[in-house]
Amino acid sequence: AHHGDDLAEDIVMRLLRGAGWPGLGGMPGVDHERRLLRPLLDWRKSELRVFLEEAGATWREDPSNSATDRTRNRIRHDILPLLRRENPSFVETARQLWTLAHIDGEYWNDKLPPLSSPIKDYLLQATELDAYQAARLRVYKAVLDAMGPGQALASHLLLLDRAWVRKNCGRTIQFPGDKIARVEPDGIHFSFQHRAP
């Protein structure tokens, strides 16, 4: 089961990959789509080991955890020890970031217009884009998420917003999952890139 140390690793991985806020806060505690529940994110690995020892249970370690050909394991064995040397409470700091990200996410999920998914073609009207940059970025991300798999990175969302603010009509931004966003005079048109067969 994922625990607090795994959460810290996940946050570092997301930072390295260019995740934006609140995704930078780490994996969700509840993932309804995948029917996943992660109740141990508040526990450090060392705390879980002590608990199991006191209960007379044995600790089971996945043998693949030691393979340094995996990004997560290199973060676990090489990067996290350096971060803990600078901040011995790094795992707790990561959990605080996770908490703040989820508080922020709940607020925006309540404020954003509901989108029915999957979306194949969507025009985000100019009138919906007369808001704070934080709100625009959230709306872009919500539309892209409703289009299906492919995670939008912060750099691409910021690029799209810059194109909108500058009214660069005709500018198209490519997102993972063959998704595109095109700046038009009346808004931003989200669709899928058509590939030749």
Section 54-60 average pLDDT: 89
Percent of the chain clearing pLDDT 90 (strictly above): 65
pLDDT number for residue 160 = 98
pLDDT number for residue 93 = 95
Average pLDDT, the chain: 91
Model confidence at 56, pLDDT cuts 50, 70, 90, reads very high
DSSP state of 121: S
pLDDT at residue 180 is higher than 80: yes
Q: Which one has a higher pLDDT value, 137 or 66?
A: 137
H or E stretch at 188: strand 187-192
pLDDT number for residue 113 = 77
Hunting for tokens 């625009």 — which residue is that? 136
Section 58-84 average pLDDT: 90
At residue 184, the 3 state secondary structure works out as strand
Question: Which of 53, 57, 56, 73 has its CA nearest to residue 65?
Answer: 73
Model confidence at 181, pLDDT cuts 50, 70, 90, reads very high
Model confidence at 179, pLDDT cuts 50, 70, 90, reads very high
Model confidence at 21, pLDDT cuts 50, 70, 90, reads confident
pLDDT number for residue 136 = 94
pLDDT at residue 197 is higher than 70: no
- Rounded CA separation 95/44 (Å): 10
Question: Which of 167, 5, 141 has its CA nearest to residue 73?
Answer: 5
Q: Which one has a higher pLDDT value, 19 or 85?
A: 85
